Amino acid sequence: METPAAVLFDMDGLLLDSERVYRAVLTELLLPFGHTASAIETLFLSLVGVSGAPSRALLRPYVPHDLEAFDAAWHGGVRARLSTGVLLRPTVRESVTALKQAGVCMAVVTSTHGAAARRHLEHAGLLKHFEFVVAGDEVTAT
């Protein structure tokens, strides 16, 4: 098999086992408002890959008060849980290391905000392997 010149990786759910943390914190924050676990799961799945204003628009019907404060609490809760370490998905470290050793240019493309993405990749010991990280708040969606 021919070695690719470059590889693009998604971050949450592919490189990092972080989606379960986002889902858990969202569930903990929304259950007290009377939403069912099933409804929260459906909401969460609709949020995967969405960032910024479109994600807040999806959240709006579920949050009965200040959406900005809710968003800050959600991301703050995720940040706190991931500050002690970010679990990698299976074979990620081996795969990324092998690609780097083969001279393959690698980048991460994610809907996560850039500062958080770089922080999570750094905590996981992966950031040094990537030439670029292109994040949801760094591009415009069309």
Quick: pLDDT tens for 6-19: 999 999 889 998 88
Burial of 69 (0-12, 13-18, 19+ CB in 10 A): exposed
Is a pLDDT exceeding 90 seen at residue 137? Answer: no
Question: pLDDT value at position 103?
Answer: 94
What superfamily would CATH give domain 6-16+87-138?
HAD superfamily/HAD-like (3.40.50.1000)
Q: In terms of pTM, does the model score above 0.95?
A: no
Domain ranges for the chain: 6-16+87-138, 19-82
Give the three-state DSSP class for 39.
helix
Question: pLDDT value at position 3?
Answer: 84
Burial of 86 (0-12, 13-18, 19+ CB in 10 A): buried
Q: Name which of 48, 26, 46, 45 is nearest 35 in CA terms.
A: 26
For 51-82, what is each residue's pLDDT tens digit?
A: 778 888 999 999 988 999 999 999 899 889 88
For residue 141, what pLDDT band results from cuts at 50, 70 and 90? Answer: low
Q: Enumerate residues 6+ apart whose C-beta is below 8 A from 135.
A: 110, 111, 112, 113, 114, 117, 118
